[in-house]
Amino acid sequence: MKETRQERAPNAKETAMSHQAATVNGHTISQSQKIATPHLGMSDEILASSSVILNRVLSNASLLVIKTKKAHWDVMGPQFYSLHKLWDEQYETLSERTDQIAERIRFLGGFPIGTATGWLEHAVVHENPGRIEAATDAVRELMEDHELVARVLRKNIEELEGKDVGTADFLTQLLQDHEKMSWMLRSFLSGEAVESIGSAPRKSAPHLA
């Protein structure tokens, strides 16, 4: 008499293991990896490229946070209160933006750079360690930093258009922030009125309201 073989139902452990891994194009992909990979209608290459761009943006913003806070601490002179308050406001805005940039990188499946060494390596903004700037010099340098970052952002936006519309729109908002900050700083330089260290002449400085 021929024995009829009945198929055994998988136990709980085997069922769990079958869900832990799958083969895709010859590569083993764990269940956790499948969950972690965003499916946003963009290729892996575009997701990776956007994350690289965003990490550069994050690096510039993070260094601007540091430089702005340092200027806020060091400022002296007749426009101390105005600049001290302005830089505090800009610091808060930049700090909030760094968090949003980092979150955007995570949205796309990447990981944000979180070290000063990493920021310095990927940023176009540079530091001036060991130097206390005159107020005028600090205003000018931060203004030029914001303008530089704005120019870089324009190129990033052009690169992402038609590929990652969400990130391009996000960077457009950041671009507007940097344009506004550079304009506000430029307004302080109209008469070289904020010089606070050194012997620069002040006779042409406008009267403070």
Furthest C-alpha separation in the chain? 115
Q: Look at residue 10 and tell me if it is in a domain.
A: no
* Average pLDDT for the chain: 79
23 has which bridge partners? 28
pLDDT of residue 20: 40
Calculate the CA dihedral of residues 180, 185, 189, 195 and round it to 10 degrees. 180
* Structure confidence by residue, pLDDT tens digits, 5-60: 454 555 554 444 334 443 433 444 445 445 567 777 678 888 889 999 999 999 99
Q: Look at residue 94 and tell me if it is in a domain.
A: yes
29 has which bridge partners? 22
Number of domains making up the chain:
1
Range in 27-31, 165-169, 171-175 the model is least confident about: 27-31
Q: Is the pLDDT higher at 11 or at 169?
A: 169
Instruction: Using pLDDT thresholds of 50, 70 and 90, give the confidence band for residue 192.
Output: low
Q: Look at residue 14 and tell me if it is in a domain.
A: no
Q: Look at residue 193 and tell me if it is in a domain.
A: no
Q: Is the pLDDT higher at 144 or at 77?
A: 144
Q: Look at residue 1 and tell me if it is in a domain.
A: no
pLDDT of residue 127: 86
Q: Look at residue 115 and tell me if it is in a domain.
A: yes
* Structure confidence by residue, pLDDT tens digits, 78-115: 888 788 899 999 999 999 999 999 999 999 999 999 99
Instruction: Using pLDDT thresholds of 50, 70 and 90, give the confidence band for residue 129.
Output: confident
Spatial separation of the C-alpha atoms in residues 154 and 175, rounded to whole Å: 7
Q: Are 172 and 52 in contact (CB under 8 A)?
A: no
What percent of the chain shows pLDDT beyond 70?
73
Q: Are 109 and 38 in contact (CB under 8 A)?
A: yes
Q: Are 149 and 53 in contact (CB under 8 A)?
A: no
203 has a pLDDT exceeding 90: no
pLDDT of residue 180: 96
Q: Residue 142: what residue type?
A: L
Where does 3-147 show beta strands of DSSP type E? 21-24, 27-30
**Domain at 82, CATH number:** 1.20.1260.10
Q: Is the pLDDT higher at 20 or at 1?
A: 1
Q: Look at residue 11 and tell me if it is in a domain.
A: no
First to last CA, the chain: 108
**Residue 140 sits in which domain range?**
44-187
Q: Look at residue 112 and tell me if it is in a domain.
A: yes
150 has a pLDDT exceeding 70: yes
